[in-house]
A and B are shown apart, each in its own frame.
Chain A
Amino acid sequence: MAGMDGQNGNIQDVYDRMEIIGDARRALLERKRFNVKTQIFIANALVFVLALGVAVVLIANIYRIQRRMEFLEFANEFSIEIQQARRYEKNFFLYRTNLEDALENIHAAQAVFIANAEPFASILGRTQQQSVLRQLETYTDLLEELQEIQRKAPTRLFDAAFMGDIENRLRQNGKDMVTMAQGLMGKEKAALTRALQRSIAIHMLSLVALLVVLVINAYLLVGRIVTMLTRFSAYAQRIAAGDFTPITPRRRYRDEFTELAIAINEMIKELANREAALIQTHKMRAIGTLTAGVAHELNNPMNNIMLTAHMLMEENATLSAQERLEMLTDVADETSRAKHIVANLLDFARESAATIQTLELEKLLRDTIRLAENQVRMSGNKIELQVTDHLPAIHGDGQKLQQVFLNLILNAVDASPKGSKIQVIALPYDKAPDHVAIKVVDYGHGIPRHVLSSIFDPFFTTKAKGHGTGLGLSVSQGIVAKHGGKIVVSSEEGSGSIFTVVLPVTTFPKTIHTF
């Protein structure tokens, strides 16, 4: 679409706008879907998996600690039995007593060891297990041998050489076993400490990991939602300002916000249609006002034609060729005059597509004044135009701007007492560069201070019921805003008002393609 959005009541424009909204909708929908809901679900699933992993590792560790503790208990028991056996063994060699007790302890140690042979093998290896088993057997065998001797040949117990040999072997063996058992206990204690430390480390690390995951998750989720909320509040402000460009995709995926965007685009369509209808309604009212003036003004050429034609008929026989020609020329001239009177209004009334073009302000204002001239004359006032030389051209929709100026001039006519003048002045705007100001000045009754701030509000009117819709200035302000300009008013009660339309000189209107 070449024109601006939302300004035109033209059918073609409405279709264009619908097409643009349709395109935006398609573009919004053709992306892959990635809902906020999905993101929340994925993030929660991720946290759950992390927690599950941590729990599994911790449970495995606790299980290992438990095994270590059981093994430590076994090692302790084993060590106690061995040490007890050795104490009795010493007693035997000193006092020849307690051999039975030593045997009992060593059997107990053997039983404990066999009961825990498997965990022992898994921790210290099969070879070590076999070697301990052999040592136990050797020790037991030696003790049993002593028992046998005690029973059958107690005298040999006093054979120093023989006993010394057994004692040495027993002592060596016992010592090895005690060393082994204590070493085993030491090892197990160290392993247990390590496992406990690992457990603490896992707890700490998993907490840190969870924190990191949660922070990243919150950052992503909050970032996503806040970005979209910020964006939509900007959209709302833009739409409120009258920019009815639809929302187009800015992300690679679509989600719940896409549905919101589509709904807003639908709303934009409705708003644009309504605004267009409003502008059109207001224009039709202006045309209605102008029509009365045109009808009045048409009576002059029509009267001239009628009088001339009748005189031609009456005097046909007596008129000279010269007189006849003069009268016929009058008829032709007056007919063109009538045509021009109507043509201006027809030009203005014609619905044309909104087109943005370079506008020569002077011509535009002159055409507008011509349009309003009948009204000005009927009200017994004068209108004059002053345009600063070499005023830069502006860009815009000529018809819409004409509607704005016409509205201001007709308002000025309504405000002016009979016999006063209305001035239209175009000049560079003094408060901002690259802007022009078009002032419509009247010397009428002015606007009371307390209503000055509401005159641009829709439906605000000071005119009698049935004489004004209160839409003129609101619609005009809307049109000028779309051109990147504004209307400002200054008024003094009793001495008149100045409405200043400020327009940028080189604005190119926004179109759908720039968004």
Chain B
Amino acid sequence: MSDALEILLLDDEPIVGKRLKPALAKIGCNVEVFQDPIAAVDRIEKKSFDIVVTDIRMDEMDGMQVLERVQARSPRTKVIMITGYAMIALAREAMEKGAFDFIAKPFKPDDLRKVIAKAAEALGSSVDFSAVNENT
């Protein structure tokens, strides 16, 4: 296993971070969880993450703005968008703007892990699913 993937997870629903942090840790990712997009963007300015996972619809700043900030700060970072039911059009727009992929709510932890694995591959890295498979 190479170096741990640095992941920033941004969703204004606290439970999303609470559940995904251990879920992604199991495949060897370092996850920083944010609910407030402003704080998350601040963090992005300071640290270059491998992958940013962000919800599209949030109150203070939406996922599209986060995507733009990430691209400006760190072009190599893969951005994965989380969308709701009615946001597919927005997700497409995000893809056009250079997001790596999108995942629609509701999703399983494994769905995100697979997208992250794909992103890791694109980064020339890989993730280790053994811990997950053991338990399921």
A interface with B by C-beta (< 8 Å): 292-293, 295-300, 302-308, 310-311, 313-318, 327, 330, 334, 377-378, 380
Given contacts A307-B16, A311-B19, contact A378 B109 (CB under 8 A): no
17 interchain pairs, CB-CB under 8 A: A298-B85, A299-B84, A299-B106, A303-B106, A304-B15, A304-B19, A305-B106, A307-B23, A307-B108, A310-B23, A310-B109, A310-B110, A313-B136, A315-B22, A377-B59, A378-B57, A380-B62
Assess whether B13 is interfacial by the CB under 8 Å rule.
Answer: yes
In the complex, what distance in Å separates the CA atom of A317 from the CA atom of B131? 13
B85 & A304 in contact (Cβ 8 Å cutoff): no
CB distance from A377 to the nearest CB of B (A): 7
B13 & A293 in contact (Cβ 8 Å cutoff): no
A302 & B105 in contact (Cβ 8 Å cutoff): yes
CB distance from A35 to the nearest CB of B (A): 66
Residue in chain B with minimal CB distance to A327: B19
In the complex, what distance in Å separates the CA atom of A155 from the CA atom of B30? 191
A300 proximity list for chain B (CB < 8 A)? 13, 84, 105
A296 & B85 in contact (Cβ 8 Å cutoff): yes
CB distance from A422 to the nearest CB of B (A): 15
CB-contacts of B89-123 with A (<8 A): 104-110
B108 & A317 in contact (Cβ 8 Å cutoff): no
A302 & B106 in contact (Cβ 8 Å cutoff): yes
CB distance from A416 to the nearest CB of B (A): 15
Assess whether B20 is interfacial by the CB under 8 Å rule.
Answer: yes
Assess whether B39 is interfacial by the CB under 8 Å rule.
Answer: no
Assess whether B38 is interfacial by the CB under 8 Å rule.
Answer: no
Known contacts A307-B19, A314-B23, A314-B26; can you find 16 more A-B pairs with CB under 8 A? A296-B87, A297-B84, A299-B105, A302-B105, A304-B13, A304-B16, A306-B106, A307-B108, A310-B109, A310-B110, A311-B23, A314-B135, A314-B136, A316-B135, A317-B135, A380-B62
Given contacts A295-B85, A314-B23, contact A306 B57 (CB under 8 A): no
B62 proximity list for chain A (CB < 8 A)? 380
In the complex, what distance in Å separates the CA atom of A306 from the CA atom of B108? 6
Residue in chain A with minimal CB distance to B131: A314
B18 proximity list for chain A (CB < 8 A)? 330
CB distance from B91 to the nearest CB of A (A): 13
CB distance from A143 to the nearest CB of B (A): 143
B86 & A292 in contact (Cβ 8 Å cutoff): yes
A293 & B105 in contact (Cβ 8 Å cutoff): no
Q: Which of B13, B22, B105 contacts A311 (CB 8 A)?
A: B22
A296 & B86 in contact (Cβ 8 Å cutoff): yes
Residue in chain A with minimal CB distance to B87: A296
Please provide the 9 A-B residue pairs with the shortest distance between their CB atoms, ordered closest to farther.
A303-B106, A299-B105, A303-B105, A304-B15, A307-B19, A302-B106, A296-B86, A306-B106, A296-B84
Residue in chain A with minimal CB distance to B82: A303
CB distance from A496 to the nearest CB of B (A): 22
In the complex, what distance in Å separates the CA atom of A330 from the CA atom of B86? 25
B132 & A314 in contact (Cβ 8 Å cutoff): yes
B15 & A334 in contact (Cβ 8 Å cutoff): yes
B108 proximity list for chain A (CB < 8 A)? 306-307, 310
B110 proximity list for chain A (CB < 8 A)? 310
In the complex, what distance in Å separates the CA atom of A305 from the CA atom of B108? 10
In the complex, what distance in Å separates the CA atom of A303 from the CA atom of B20? 11
CB distance from B82 to the nearest CB of A (A): 8
CB distance from B92 to the nearest CB of A (A): 16
CB distance from B130 to the nearest CB of A (A): 13
A307 & B109 in contact (Cβ 8 Å cutoff): yes
CB distance from A311 to the nearest CB of B (A): 5
In the complex, what distance in Å separates the CA atom of A296 from the CA atom of B108? 17
CB distance from A314 to the nearest CB of B (A): 5
In the complex, what distance in Å separates the CA atom of A293 from the CA atom of B86? 8
B20 & A307 in contact (Cβ 8 Å cutoff): yes
A311 proximity list for chain B (CB < 8 A)? 19, 22-23, 109
In the complex, what distance in Å separates the CA atom of A303 from the CA atom of B57? 14
Give the most central of B19, B23, B57: most A CB within 10 Å.
Answer: B19
B15 & A308 in contact (Cβ 8 Å cutoff): yes
A315 & B135 in contact (Cβ 8 Å cutoff): yes
In the complex, what distance in Å separates the CA atom of A8 from the CA atom of B57? 37
CB distance from B38 to the nearest CB of A (A): 15
B135 proximity list for chain A (CB < 8 A)? 314-318
A378 proximity list for chain B (CB < 8 A)? 57, 86
CB distance from B64 to the nearest CB of A (A): 11
In the complex, what distance in Å separates the CA atom of A291 from the CA atom of B13? 21
B109 & A314 in contact (Cβ 8 Å cutoff): yes
A303 proximity list for chain B (CB < 8 A)? 13, 16, 105-107
In the complex, what distance in Å separates the CA atom of A378 from the CA atom of B89? 13
CB distance from A85 to the nearest CB of B (A): 137
Q: Which of B15, B23, B57, B105 contacts A330 (CB 8 A)?
A: B15
A292 proximity list for chain B (CB < 8 A)? 86
B86 & A307 in contact (Cβ 8 Å cutoff): no
In the complex, what distance in Å separates the CA atom of A103 from the CA atom of B42? 163
CB distance from A333 to the nearest CB of B (A): 9
In the complex, what distance in Å separates the CA atom of A296 from the CA atom of B105? 9
